[in-house]
C-alpha cells in the first residue's frame, strides 16, 4: 500500500465518523480551527514568508506572488470566512422531498455528504482553509494537494487544523495534506478509486484540463475564467469604464477577473478614452484587434488569435470591437469558459436578451464579474466556481458538496 493509499484509507475511515457527527460537533471543530489560526498565525505567516521568498527567487510574476502571499489582514479574512461557515445552516440530514405513496411507503430524500473530496489546487494557501471548512461543515473529509509554491504554508496550516480537530474530538484525518507535490503523486490522487468520491481541481486551465482528462475518479471542473465585459452602445460609459477597471485590476490573478472587453463599434472611441486612463494606473497591456488598435495607436499592441481564448491572470486585457450585441454574444459563447460574463447597458431588453443567451454560470448586468464568489453570493466560503452543468454550477457552497439518499419507511409492504 502506497503512502497515498494509506492516506486515502484513513480519510475513508474518518468519513464515516464525520458523516454522523452532527452540527454541534462540526461547528465546535470549526471554531477550534478559527481560534488556532488566530492564536498561532505567526507560525503560518513565517511559513508563508519562506514560500514567498522562494517564489520570488524563482521569478514568479507579481500577480501570482499576490495570490501566494498571506498577511495578518488576509488571515483575519480567512478566519472570518470560517466563522461565516459556522453560521450557515447545515444541509446534512435535511429532507427536500417527502411523499407518501399509494401503497403506504413514506419516501424521503435527504441531503448526505459526498464522502471523501480530494482537491488539487495551486499557489493559494487560503484555499487550504476555505476547502477544509466547507468540507467539514458539509460532513465531507478532504484530502488536499496544493502546489509546491505554497508547500510550507500548507504544511503549517494543515497541521494546525488537524490539531484543532483532535481537540474538538473529531478524527485528525478529516483533513489531510498530500506532502509530496510531484506530478506522480497528483496522478496517483486522480486514480485513488475506492477512497476518493470526487476530485475538484482549482487553478489554471492547464491543471483543470489535465485532471478532467486523466482522472478515473469523478471530477467537478472549476475555475477556468476567460471572462468578458461587453460595452453596449447604450451603456453609461463612465460606469462601464469603472466596472472594467475593477474587473481587470482589483485582483487580476483570480478566475473572476475580466480578460477581454468587447465594445460596440458606435462607442469604441469614447469608451476607450474613458477606460484607458483608469487601466493606465496599473499599466495594463492592451492586446487589440484592428479597429481598437486604430483608436489606441501605440497604446495598444496587435492581438494574436490566441489572445481571444487567453486566461492571463495578469495586467493584460484583450480589446475587441463588435458590430452589435448578437456578435458579442456569439463571441462570448465561442471563446468564454462559461464562468462569468457582464453586459453594460441602459437598455432593459438588451440586458434580458444577454442574460438569456449567454451560456455561463454567472451573467451580470451593469456589475463587475469580480462578484462571482461564494462569500459575495451569501454562501460563505466557496470550494470553487463550477463551470460545468452536471451536479453543481457557479460558486460551490455547502449544498453543492452534498448528494442525496432516499429513506423509505414501510409497514410490511412487499412487491
Residue pLDDT, tens place only, 226-283: 999 999 999 999 999 999 999 999 999 888 999 999 999 999 999 999 999 999 999 9
Per-residue confidence at 61, pLDDT binned at 50, 70, 90?
Answer: confident
Average pLDDT in the chain:
93
pLDDT at 304 over 90: yes
- pLDDT, tens digit, 9 for 90 and up, residues 1-24: 899 999 999 999 999 999 999 999
pLDDT beyond 80 at 63? no
Quick: pLDDT tens for 170-187.
Answer: 999 999 999 998 989 999
Which domains, and CATH codes, for the chain?
3-222+399-409 (3.40.605.10), 227-371 (3.40.309.10)
Q: 136 near 26, Cβ under 8 Å?
A: yes
% the chain with pLDDT above 70: 99
Angle between helices 125-137 and 23-39 (to 10 degrees): 160
* DSSP letters spanning 6-18: HHHHHHHHHHHHH
Confidence of residue 64 (pLDDT cuts 50, 70, 90): confident
pTM, rounded to two decimals: 0.82
**What whole-number distance in Å separates Cα of residue 13 and Cα of residue 19?**
11
Query: For residue 55, what is its C-alpha cell?
Result: 517564489
- What pLDDT does 380 receive? 66
For residue 387, report the phi and psi dihedrals to the nearest 5 degrees: -110, 10
Cα 35 from chain centroid (whole Å): 25
3-state secondary structure of 230: strand
Examine the pLDDT at 328 and tell me if it is beyond 70.
Answer: yes
For the residues 380-406, what does the mean pLDDT come to? 83
3-state secondary structure of 78: helix
* 180 neighbors 167 (Cβ within 8 angstroms): no
What's the pLDDT at 250? 95
Q: Which of 280, 270, 143, 116 is nearest to 198 (CA)?
A: 116
Outline where DSSP puts E strands in 36-182.
95-100, 106-113, 116-121, 141-145, 175-177
Position 297 scores a pLDDT of 86
Q: What is the mean pLDDT of residues 322-328?
A: 97
Name 362's bridge partners. Answer: 340
At residue 99, what are phi and psi to the nearest 5 degrees?
-145, 140
Yes or no: say if 119 and 145 are a contact pair by the CB < 8 Å rule: yes
pLDDT at 116: 97
Look at 135-139, 373-377, 380-384 and tell me which has the smallest mean pLDDT. Answer: 380-384
DSSP at 138: T
Position 27 scores a pLDDT of 98
Contact 374, 386 (CB under 8 A): no
| Residue closest to 148 by CA, chosen among 60, 249, 89 | 60
- Give the pLDDT band of residue 207 (cuts 50, 70, 90): confident
Which value, to the nearest 10 degrees, does the dihedral of the CA atoms of residues 58, 60, 66, 70 take? -20
Instruction: Say if residue 375's pLDDT is above 90.
Output: no
State which H helix or E strand residue 322 sits in.
strand 316-322
User: Alpha-carbon distance 10 to 195, whole Å?
Assistant: 9
User: Taking 90 as the threshold, does the pLDDT of residue 384 lie above it?
Assistant: no
DSSP state at residue 265 = G
pLDDT at 65 over 80: yes
Q: What is the mean pLDDT of residues 153-165?
A: 97
pLDDT digits (tens, 9 = 90+) for 390-399: 778 888 889 8
Query: Greater confidence, 309 or 125?
Result: 309
Taking residues 177-204, what's their average pLDDT?
Answer: 91
> What pLDDT is recorded for position 363?
97
pLDDT at site 99: 95
Amino acid at each position: 500500500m502506497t503512502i497515498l493509499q494509506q492516506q486515502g484509507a484513513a480519510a475513508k475511515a474518518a468519513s464515516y465518523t464525520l458523516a454522523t457527527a452532527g452540527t454541534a460537533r462540526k461547528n465546535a471543530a470549526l471554531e477550534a480551527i478559527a481560534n488556532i489560526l488566530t492564536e498561532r498565525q505567526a507560525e503560518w505567516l513565517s511559513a508563508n514568508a519562506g514560500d514567498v521568498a522562494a517564489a520570488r527567487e524563482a521569478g514568479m510574476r507579481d500577480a501570482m506572488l499576490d495570490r501566494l502571499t498571506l498577511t495578518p489582514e488576509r488571515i483575519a479574512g480567512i478566519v472570518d470566512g470560517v466563522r461565516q461557515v459556522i453560521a450557515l445552516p447545515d444541509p446534512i440530514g435535511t429532507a427536500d422531498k417527502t411523499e407518501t405513496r399509494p401503497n403506504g411507503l413514506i419516501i424521503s430524500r435527504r441531503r448526505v455528504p459526498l464522502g471523501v473530496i480530494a482537491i488539487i489546487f495551486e499557489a493559494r494557501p487560503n484555499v487550504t482553509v476555505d476547502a477544509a471548512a466547507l468540507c467539514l461543515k458539509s460532513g465531507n473529509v478532504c484530502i488536499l494537494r496544493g502546489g509546491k509554491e505554497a508547500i510550507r504554508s500548507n504544511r503549517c496550516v494543515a497541521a494546525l487544523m488537524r490539531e484543532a480537530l483532535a481537540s474538538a474530538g473529531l478524527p485528525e484525518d478529516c483533513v489531510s495534506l498530500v506532502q509530496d507535490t510531484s506530478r506522480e503523486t497528483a496522478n496517483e490522487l486522480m486514480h485513488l478509486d475506492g477512497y476518493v468520491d470526487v476530485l475538484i481541481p482549482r487553478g489554471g486551465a492547464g491543471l483543470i484540463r489535465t485532471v478532467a482528462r486523466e482522472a478515473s475518479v469523478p471530477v467537478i471542473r472549476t475555475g477556468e475564467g476567460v471572462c468578458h465585459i461587453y460595452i453596449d452602445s447604450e451603456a453609461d460609459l463612465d460606469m462601464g469604464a469603472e466596472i472594467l477597471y475593477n474587473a481587470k485590476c482589483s485582483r487580476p490573478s483570480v478566475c473572476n477577473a475580466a480578460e477581454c472587453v468587447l465594445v460596440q463599434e458606435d462607442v469604441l472611441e469614447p469608451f476607450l478614452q474613458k477606460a484607458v486612463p483608469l487601466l493606465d494606473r496599473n499599466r495594463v497591456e492592451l492586446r487589440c484587434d484592428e479597429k481598437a488598435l486604430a483608436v489606441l495607436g501605440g497604446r495598444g499592441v496587435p492581438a494574436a488569435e490566441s489572445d481571444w481564448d487567453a486566461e492571463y491572470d495578469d495586467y493584460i486585457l484583450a480589446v475587441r470591437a463588435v458590430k452589435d450585441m448578437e456578435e458579442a454574444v456569439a463571441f462570448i459563447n465561442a471563446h468564454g469558459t462559461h464562468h462569468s460574463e457582464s453586459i453594460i447597458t441602459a437598455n432593459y431588453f438588451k440586458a434580458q436578451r444577454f442574460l438569456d443567451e449567454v451560456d455561463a454560470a454567472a451573467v451580470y448586468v451593469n456589475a463587475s464579474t469580480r462578484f462571482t464568489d461564494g462569500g459575495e453570493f451569501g454562501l460563505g466560503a466557496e470550494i470553487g466556481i463550477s463551470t460545468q452543468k452536471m451536479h453543481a454550477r457557479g460558486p460551490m457552497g455547502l449544498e453543492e458538496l452534498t448528494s442525496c439518499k432516499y429513506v423509505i419507511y414501510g409497514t410490511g409492504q412487499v412487491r
